[in-house]
Amino acid sequence: MAGVVADPKNHLMASGHTACAGCGQAIAARIVVNAAGKNTIISNATGCLEVFTTKAPQTAWRVAWIHSLFENAAAVASGIEAALRYLGKLDEVHVIAQGGDGGTADIGMGSLSGMLERGHNILYVCYDNEAYMNTGVQRSGLTPLDSNTTTSPVGKKSCGNPRPKKPLLEIAVAHNVSYAATASVAWPADIERKVKKALSHKGPKFIQIHVPCPLGWRFDSSLTLEVAKLAVETGLYPLVEYENGALIGVRKIKPKPVEEYLKLQGRYRHLLKLPEALEEVRKVAQANIEKYNLSVN
């Protein structure tokens, strides 16, 4: 399969880490680092990925890797990049900063914006599982509309998260980055291609990868890729690609009803009984389909 190194012994993120079964982030992160290759230094934000790969004295990483804090992966990466520039090694080494949706779009937003604005030669990867999973499924700025989380719970007066996702990709694109894309763990070859393409560009670049979380979204751990695929096929998670500010590609879909995606997940169970709220989610998908001209129909 594309995007995957044939011999697991050559994976740059080794197996044996402590991620949950079916963790979308674990799959995506391995594809990213394998695509980047061994001449890579990773700056990793605090979060599930950091915790399940580096419980001292063990590490899953076969590339140079550092974790500092929650909100500063982009700034730490900026320092790594500056040091490599000083040493004249920037052409030989890839610098990747990575974090979850909270570490990127909320607490790390300023740090990311600074990194993008300053023009560092860094790829930032956001693993978007749409809530603070490491702390127990609290709502983030990338939690979708009406999603049931522990801090946007469903109740008599609440239909879950009251806001749609922060337009993170557009925020990155607005920084005039040379490359920006969304991807999904359901298409590993696409992730690999996008990482390699991003790394072929000089300057800052950004990839946001949709990574379902069985525990947080409440679905069976065998369904991770199925759920990820449906998010794209319903129009709720458009896969798009920007180069130097211009939209250069989208994954076309034959739009499926959003219910097919929602009904697999406990976080949306309440929605299926609320036609008006469901209609609002349909509108989100429809707006994406129109905005990016996703439909092949």
Partner 1 sequence: MKKFVEGSHAIAEIVSKCRPCVISAYPITPQTHIVEGLAKLIADGELEAEFINVESEHSAASVVLGASATGVRTYTATSSQGLLLMAEVLFNIAGMRLPVVLTCANRAVSAPINIWNDHQDSMTVRDSGWIQLYAENIQEAIDLHVIAYRVAEDKRISLPVLVAIDGYVLTHAFEVVDMPEQELVNQFLPEFDPIVKLDPENPVSMGLLGTPDLYMETRYAIAKTMETALTVIQEATESYSKLVGRPVSGLVEAYRIDDAEKILVGLGSVVGSIKDVVDELREKGEKVGALKIVSYRPFPKEVIFEALKNAKYIGVVEKAVSLGADSPLFTEIAATLYKRGAKPVINSFTVGLGGRDISPAQIRQIFEEMEKDEAETRFIGLNTELLEA
Summarize as ranges the residues that interact with partner 1 (CB under 8 A): 38-41, 43-44, 50-51, 54-57, 59, 61-69, 71-72, 74-87, 92-93, 110-111, 113-114, 117-118
234: phi > 0 → left, psi -120 to 50 → alpha, else beta; which? alpha
Instruction: List the Cα angle 175/82/86 in 5-degree steps.
Output: 140
Q: How far is 220 from 196, CA to CA, in rounded Å? A: 32
* Pick 111 or 178: Cβ nearer partner 1: 111
- Tell me how far apart the alpha carbons of residues 257 and 285 are, in angstroms, rounded to a whole number: 9
Tokens representing 222 are 């065998």
Residue 37 Cβ, how far from partner 1 at the closest point, in Å?
9
Beta carbon of residue 13, minimum distance to partner 1 (angstroms, whole number): 11
Nearest to partner 1 of 58, 158 (CB atom):
58
Comparing CB distances to partner 1, the nearer of 99 and 238 is 99
H/E run at residue 181:
strand 179-184
Q: Is 124 helix (H, G, I), strand (E, B) or coil?
A: strand
Work out how close the CB of 67 gets to partner 1 at its nearest, in angstroms, rounded to a whole number. 4
Dihedral through CA 199, CA 41, CA 108, CA 120, nearest 10?
-50
> DSSP alpha helices (H): ranges in 145-274?
168-173, 188-200, 214-217, 224-233, 258-262
How is residue 202 written in tokens? Answer: 């000089």
Output the smallest distance, CB 222 to partner 1, in A. 28
**Which residue's CB is nearer to partner 1, number 109 or number 247?**
109
CB nearer to partner 1: give 74 or 180: 74
Q: How far apart are CA 129 and CA 162, in angstroms?
A: 17
Distance CA 187, CA 189 (A): 6
Question: Smaller CB distance to partner 1: residue 46 or 178?
Answer: 46
Give the shortest CB-277-to-partner 1 separation in angstroms: 38
In whole angstroms, how close is the CB of 137 to partner 1 at the nearest point?
Answer: 20
Smallest separation, CB 146 to partner 1 (Å): 33
Least separation in angstroms between residue 127's CB and partner 1 is 18
Inter-axis angle of helices 109-118 and 73-87, nearest 10:
30
Residue 227 contacts by C-beta under 8 Å, 6 or more apart in sequence?
212, 217, 219, 261, 264, 265
Of 223, 216, 233, 210, give the one whose Cα is nearest residue 264: 223
